[in-house]
Amino acid sequence: MALEFVRLIAAQPALPQPTHLFVSARRPGGSVPPGGGAEQAAAAGGTLTAIDDDVEFVRAVHARYGGETLQMVLDNAELREMVVPMMRADFAAAEGYRMDPSAAPISTPVTAVGGTEDSLKPEELEGWGAVTSDWRGVTMVEGGHMFVNDPPPALSELLVKTLSKL
């Protein structure tokens, strides 16, 4: 979604233009890896949002991505009632998105970041290079898919180093 936001802004030259796009933990174009999801998602048609039961949905998200926050959602029915609709909307947007393969590359620099413990491999993140004429590469940082919940020092260093040059 961030890529499409950059495209929208770039189409409005009167607006301040993005100076860098950081993407993480997802392949470009919305593609889903073969065999790369939780077993529950595969059984429910390949998408997490196809899981109707809220507890099973959160369990499937937790199985795929981990994270303490998701465990809190599993453990607290009231919190689950508030959070699950937002989670479903987020996953529906992500699962339904397909990048237009004919779209021109953006000129905004792009850096992809991945977690060393995530199932998403650096070579899968390399695909982001095709969306920009200014590819800055992949940086892997300590952590799983949800590495931003407890940002490792390498992530802060990357952000400071990159943004201080602007």
Nearest to 29 by CA among 112, 109, 107: 112
Both structure tokens of 30: 């919305």
Would you state the pLDDT for residue 43? 42
pLDDT band at 149 (very low <50, low <70, confident <90, very high): confident
Q: Which backbone phi and psi does 114 adopt, to 5 degrees? A: -135, 160
CATH number of 2-31+100-164: 3.40.50.1820
Contact 162, 20 (CB under 8 A): yes
Domain map of the chain by residue range?
Answer: 2-31+100-164, 39-96
Contact 145, 119 (CB under 8 A): yes
Distances in Å between the Cα of 34 and the Cα atoms of 55, 77, 120, 163 are 25, 33, 12, 35
Contact 36, 52 (CB under 8 A): no
Would you state the pLDDT for residue 54? 95
Both structure tokens of 90: 């987020």
Beta bridge partners of 21: 110
- The Cα–Cα gap between 90 and 84 comes to 10
Q: pLDDT tens-digit profile of 50-76?
A: 999 999 999 998 888 877 778 889 999
Contact 24, 114 (CB under 8 A): yes
Q: Specify the pTM.
A: 0.80
155 pLDDT higher than 60: yes
Both structure tokens of 111: 């850096």
Contact 113, 155 (CB under 8 A): yes
